[in-house]
Structure 1
């Protein structure tokens, strides 16, 4: 506890001795205590500061040998360390590829929009896109790349990439 907390506790005990059975309005009581604390000299506060110091030493002794029970609240969990070899980039969705294409256009046409407003506008535009195949193809390629990276990371043999044959050329007239 702090020195001020010890002071308030002492004031409360004194008040209970003087006025037993009387209920205390907490807000008023704390205001009066705060006023008294501000008016006290450093010499008068020293008693409470010593009490706080002793309490701090007691707390540190108790905490030195404390081991929280496993699985309970308050138990400190160890922070997982990240593997530096783990692939950093996850695969992006078709929407993310769309946003990468459209974001510069939205920013150019609407100056001064916040990041959230730009994102809302991109969402509205995505809903109206009729031909998403270009973005879905990019997402599929990115997913293959991520799966290859993960397979290499996990020590598995990566799946061979099967490429679709190029589309036939348009008929000549």
Structure 2
């Protein structure tokens, strides 16, 4: 088992029963969207009405899954640091920065205005004002930021493709990036 990747949780007898109900419903009504709340209530009612012998096959499936889960958990060792917390994956400092959303591009332009207007505001208060302004912005202005965000996303995808093709352990990667920018 991969270190750090926790095994899929075990399923209960009832979960197997609901799964079977869902499959039956799909076979009878392949194109119908299911109202989850109603479906759950019907399954629960049906489960309550079942006898123990009828529930037995689902209990056996659950027992088998419990054995699978216990076996996988025996081989599982989570990634933890000295303090007992999960370790985060280290981010490669050479990896391209993620693309900003339309809202974040708007914030980058508007934040100086908010800071000038409300110098006493904390970061959280300023963010709240920015969110309110974003919600009041005209559709035309929003579409301009969404277009910029789409360009950002394309740039990020190109940069990621280059980054992946170059390999993560490239030495002197900064020079390559400048060369690529000159080519464009």
Q: TM-score range by the shorter chain?
A: 0.3 to 0.5
- Which structure has the higher relative contact order (CA within 8 Å, separation 6+)? 2
TM-score normalised to structure 2 length: 0.41
Rg comparison, structure with higher value = 1
TM-score normalised to structure 1 length: 0.44
